[in-house]
Amino acid sequence: MATDNRPFRFQVLAVERRIPESDRVLTRRLSALRGYFFDQVAYEALLAAGDVVVYEVHELRRPEESGELLSGLSIVYPGLVGEEYFMTMGHFHKARQTAEIYLCLSGRGALVMENEQGDSLVEELTPGRGVYVAPGWAHRSVNLDLSQPLVTFFVYPGHAGHDYATIGEAGFRKLVLRRGGSTVIVDNPRRIECPTGVRT
Ligand code: NI
């Protein structure tokens, strides 16, 4: 990790799907995503066939403090669990009032977002398209292309932190599914609603 306070350069290799200067790669396999996919029977069947990599995050590490920016490459591999596309766990930022930018470099996907006031939003990601995730919105990347990975570059404030538990327990309000050969967005029947900000 570059910790001295000097500018530095890096390369984002979208085709090779890596950042040579990245010094940490987070790999999330199917086994780490138990409970995240809607169809649990399909999940167990797929997992029994092999613990495949669902997504990777290549980080450009910096001190996790205000004033810094954390960035990297997110790669969501193609696949389905039942009708549900491969996706990231999704999270709020611990420091809720912090935003994030996602820029799609290759592939085709969606950014599923929601806030604690009850709003939901799904934005399509195509090469060159960016999404500004406003402060207070949970976000998850979904790969809508079954033939290639979804590759995005992200940047967020150093002090943001990750809160996986809130959205992990409740589930997102919207699911992105492949149904009859096309992509549909449906309400999540397993969504657990909690009073805003109050969790037990
Ligand atoms: Ni984030």
Which tokens sit at 152?
A: 């995005």
Q: Considering the domain boundaries, does residue 14 fall inside one? A: no
Number of domains in the chain: 1
How remote is the CA of residue 167 from the centroid of ligand 1, in Å? 12
Sequential pLDDT tens for the chain (200 residues): 666 889 999 999 999 999 999 989 999 999 999 999 999 999 999 999 999 999 999 999 999 999 999 999 999 999 999 999 999 999 999 999 999 999 999 999 999 999 999 999 999 999 999 999 999 999 999 999 999 999 999 999 999 999 999 999 999 999 999 999 999 999 999 898 765 544 44
Residue 107 CA to residue 125 CA, distance in Å, equals 8
194 occurs within a structural domain? no
Domain membership of residue 166 as a residue range: 24-187
For residues 25 and 79, give the distance between their C-alpha atoms in angstroms, rounded to a whole number: 20
CA of 180 from ligand 1 middle (Å) equals 31
- DSSP element (H, E) containing 57: strand 53-60
pTM of the model: 0.94
22 near 58, Cβ under 8 Å? yes
CATH of the domain at 132: 2.60.120.10
Q: What does the pLDDT read at residue 193?
A: 77
Phi, psi values for residue 98, rounded to 5°: -130, 135
13, part of any domain = no
Q: Is residue 84 part of a domain?
A: yes
> Six-digit token pair at 137?
């919105």
Residue 141 Cα, ligand 1 centroid: separation in angstroms? 10
In angstroms, what is the span from residue 98 Cα to ligand 1's centroid? 9
Please tell me the distance between residue 75's alpha carbon and the centre of ligand 1 in angstroms: 14
- For residue 82, the CA-to-ligand 1 centroid distance in Å is 26
Residue 49 Cα to ligand 1 middle (Å): 31
Is residue 19 a part of any domain in this protein? no
Quote the Cα angle for 66-67-71, to 5°.
95
Structural domain includes residue 8: no
- Residue 148 Cα to ligand 1 midpoint, Å, equals 23
Cβ atoms of residues 111 and 140 within 8 Å = yes
Judge whether 30 lies within some domain.
Answer: yes
Distance 142 CA to ligand 1 centre (A): 14
1 domain-assigned: no
Cα of 72 to ligand 1 centre, how many Å?
11
